[in-house]
Amino acid sequence: MRDPLSRTFAALADPTRRAMLARLSEGEANVSDLAEPFLKDMTLPAVTKHLKVLENAGLITKGRKAQWRPCQLNGEPLREAVDWMEQHRIAAEAQLDRLGAYLKAKTKGTRHGRK
């Protein structure tokens, strides 16, 4: 059992699953629709498993319509993951800015730190 953020990132750490999400970001699709681009590379049960990973991460929801399972993307976990990343990326860049300011101050007047 893993925390939600870890499950989200783990789900995204696979190009097949990301391609499936990309496809779903253009609109609802059935399992076989989603599988189609990958059936040269893997079997249907493998696709089902990938979808299960995405579902467990809350990134997609599966409906049912007769024998079809229309899937749709849920953006919420993506938003939470982005929030985490932006928070720290921004902090890291602020660090760099402070370093830049420090270096600039340190070399002020020496006129040889330009590039």
**Residue 27 φ/ψ region, left for φ over 0, alpha for ψ in the -120 to 50 degree band, beta for the rest:** left
Question: Which residues partner with 60 through β-bridges?
Answer: 73
Question: Which residues partner with 61 through β-bridges?
Answer: 72
Cβ proximity of 38 and 47 under 8 Å: yes
CA torsion sign, 46 to 50 to 56 to 61? negative
Residue from the set 44, 82, 101, 103 that interacts with its own copies by CB under 8 A: 82
How far apart are alpha carbons 57 and 72 in whole angstroms? 13
- Taking CB under 8 A as the rule, does residue 74 contact its own copies? yes
Residue whose CB is less far from DNA, 13 or 99: 13
Residue whose CB is less far from DNA, 28 or 93: 28
Q: Which of residues 21-80 bind DNA (CB under 7 A)?
A: 30-33, 35, 41-46, 48-53, 62, 66-69
Determine the size of the site formed for DNA (CB under 7 A). 26
Question: Which residues partner with 68 through β-bridges?
Answer: 65
- Contact set with DNA (CB under 7 A): 10, 13-14, 16, 30-33, 35, 41-46, 48-53, 62, 66-69
Residue ranges that bind its own copies, judged by CB under 8 A:
3, 5-7, 9-10, 12-15, 18, 21-22, 24-28, 72-75, 78-79, 81-82, 84-93, 95-96
